[in-house]
Amino acid sequence: MSTHDLEQIFQERIDAEIKIEAKEWMPDAYRKTLIRQISQHAHSEIVGMLPEGNWITRAPSLRRKVALLAKVQDEAGHGLYLYSAAETLGAERDDLIEQLLTGKAKYSSIFNYPTVSWADIGAIGWLVDGAAIMNQVMLTRTSYGPYARAMVRICKEESFHQRQGYEIMLALSNGTEAQKNMAQDALNRWWWPSLMMFGPSDKESSHTEQSMRWKIKRKSNDELRQQFINQTVGQADFLGLTIPDPDLKWNEATGNYDFGAIDWEEFWNVVKGNGPCNKERIRASIKAHEDGAWVREAALAHAEKRSARAAQKTQVA
């Protein structure tokens, strides 16, 4: 069968909502797109631990601390589900990690912003995880089976993340004047970067069209962004906080909130490595990887020695 025929059969299966599984034939570009997307997603979970880890030792109570620890541990788990989904496509874990550490692979730009106050932990859970959930709920129906299954697990766990973030914001908003200001300040700084998480506008997004045809994505960046805004405005109102967008206004005709222009220059600047924390995040990731090298090597040496010893024993017996 020619590649053209195979591609046609592949597309027919996608159109019929038949999931693609690991060993089945798929176009090279589908495989490449998935490896790129899933590994970037995994990297985002792993790098995402850094801004939040920054506050574990300074959480204001034991209750907040165990919650944050559990959340950060979940992010590590999510990274692992995703790396293993990428590996079903033939990617090697080492190569993926190397791409992250050398800057060849991207991760979500949102994690290049600093967490300067405790309220940032609230804002991240509420907004950043909220935006991530919106994207990930869509991805539970993605056409590649192992990716979809990883997303189902992740979505189940993420909802606690968003609720713990909102609860932090709620406590601060009902607190002293200083605490309320802290919450407002966090919203001011995280709002626009959270909207940027959905990626460039549909007109500018190079991958969207093909990804939609392959049902890797089922909603466009702009659709998801709008859905996120519609859903979040009421939550901000309930907190008594103001979303930092003077153009934000309910539009009766479209049934959506209109919103102001996004500063795409800032977005691309952060993507290109010039955000406030890009260098620090990569530096911390490299350090963690290098500091752990001896553990990985020792565990392997230990396992090899043990299996050699066991083999010897059976021989003697």
Q: Which stretch binds another protein (CB under 8 A): 54-62, 72-80, 164-172, 175-183?
A: 72-80
CA atoms of 164 and 141, how far apart (whole Å)? 26
- Residue placing its CB nearer to another protein in the complex, 84 or 188: 84
Site string for another protein, 137-166 (x = CB under 8 A): ---------x--xx------x---------
Nearer to another protein, 29 or 70 (CB): 70
Q: What is the dihedral of CA 275, 279, 282, 288, to 10 degrees?
A: -130
DSSP 229-285: HHHHHHHHHHHT---S-TT-EEETTTTEEE-----HHHHHHIIIIISSSHHHHHHHH
Task: Please list the residues that pair with 144 across neighbouring strands.
Answer: 20
**Within 221-280, which residues bind another protein (CB under 8 A)?**
none
CB of 24 to another protein, least distance (A): 5
Smallest separation (angstroms) from another protein to the CB of 184: 34
Query: Token pair of 127, please?
Result: 């907004």
Distance in Å, CB of 4 to another protein, minimum: 18
Does 74 participate in binding another protein (rule CB under 8 A)?
A: yes
CA-CA distances (angstroms) from residue 19 to 8, 11, 67, 105, 152? 15, 11, 35, 27, 14
Report the site for another protein in 9-28 (rule: CB under 8 A).
21, 23-25
Closest distance of CB 289 from another protein, Å? 12
For 103, other C-beta atoms within 10 Å of its C-beta total 11
Size of the residue set binding another protein (CB under 8 A): 28
Tell me how far apart the alpha carbons of residues 301 and 28 are, in angstroms, rounded to a whole number: 37
Candidates 54, 84, 117, 201; binder of another protein (CB under 8 A) is: 84
Question: Which class for 195: exposed (0-12), middle (13-18), buried (19 or more C-beta within 10 A)?
Answer: buried
* Contact characters 30-69, another protein, x per CB under 8 A: ----------------------------------------
Contact positions vs another protein (CB under 8 A): 21, 23-25, 70, 73-74, 77, 80-81, 84-85, 87-88, 92-94, 146, 149-150, 157, 296, 299-300, 302-303, 306-307
